[in-house]
Amino acid sequence: MRSVYLTAIVLILMSFGFALPASGWGPPQSDTHDEPESELTPEQVIQKFSEKETEFFEAWKNYTYTQFAKIRVLSVDNIPVNESLMLVSEVVFNDDGTREVHLTERRGRLKSVTFTPEDEEIIYNLNPFALTVKELPLYNLKFRGKERVDELYCYVFSVKPKSTKGGRLYFEGTIWVDDVDLQIVRTVGRAVPETRENKFPEFETLRQVVDGKYWFPTWTHAEETLRFPNQDVRIEETITYESYKEFRSKSTIRYGKPVPSDDTE
């Protein structure tokens, strides 16, 4: 977020307003939970879930889906306002297999804040946060114990970037790793680094099982007052990811006689 009084452009991250799906965010499980015969060490959990995250992220890049993002400004300096912006995007694949995000609908207008490239980066790339084998060396992880979340038993780790240099955004917060599938099922944190003009709210992202094997993000939410040097802006943000479908390339089957080769002996 960027203060209006500083630049006349106020950055707002992702204020969105949808309800969490009533079906919950994990597969149904029994109330009883058998501990693994051989409990994994935190280091083993990190190694295994980073491998699963790599598999998940590569699979996720081969799915189409619709993303709904609603940005709301609730108040400025404790004075209620009613501003909202809805962004609807489709993830599609071109004939050559390349993946693109197309903005298909933009409704509403924000007067106190402005959606910026940093917001776009967070919405489309940092969320969902995937701690793959490639990304893992960039972060420090600390094991916080185990928790039951909904019907899942999870390993809990705090995550912090080793450095925030490089001109990119990083995740800083907490992740919950399912102790059966060893995949991240919940994240709570914010984008870093921040500056005096750029402020980002803490967001929560939940995942659900898609196609019976991948934990894909389905819901992201944030609500926080962002404090700039000259004003406080309270925002609410929600993203939903819907209608996941795996992309399958089309092939052409030719019937008839084989086409002669142009090659000569």
pLDDT, average across residues 144-171: 94
Closest among 180, 188, 194 to 227, alpha carbons compared: 194
- Block residue for tokens 């709210």: 201
Instruction: Say what the pLDDT of residue 2 is.
Output: 60
- Counting every residue written for the chain, the total comes to 265
Model confidence pLDDT, tens digit, residues 11-24 = 333 333 333 343 33
Q: Are strands 63-76 and 184-192 parallel, antiparallel or unpaired?
A: unpaired
Q: What percent of the chain has pLDDT over 70?
A: 78
Average pLDDT of the segment spanning 57-80: 93
Q: Nearest to residue 206, comparing CAs of 184, 190, 178? A: 184
pLDDT digits (tens, 9 = 90+) for 98-130: 778 899 999 999 888 877 788 788 888 777 788
Q: How confident is the model at residue 192 (pLDDT cuts 50, 70, 90)?
A: very high
Mean pLDDT of 180-187: 94
Give the per-residue pLDDT at 9.
33
- In angstroms, rounded to a whole number, what is the distance separating the alpha carbons of residues 148 and 226? 31
DSSP for residue 54: H
Give the model's pLDDT for residue 249.
54
Q: Where along the chain do its domains lie?
A: 4-21+40-244
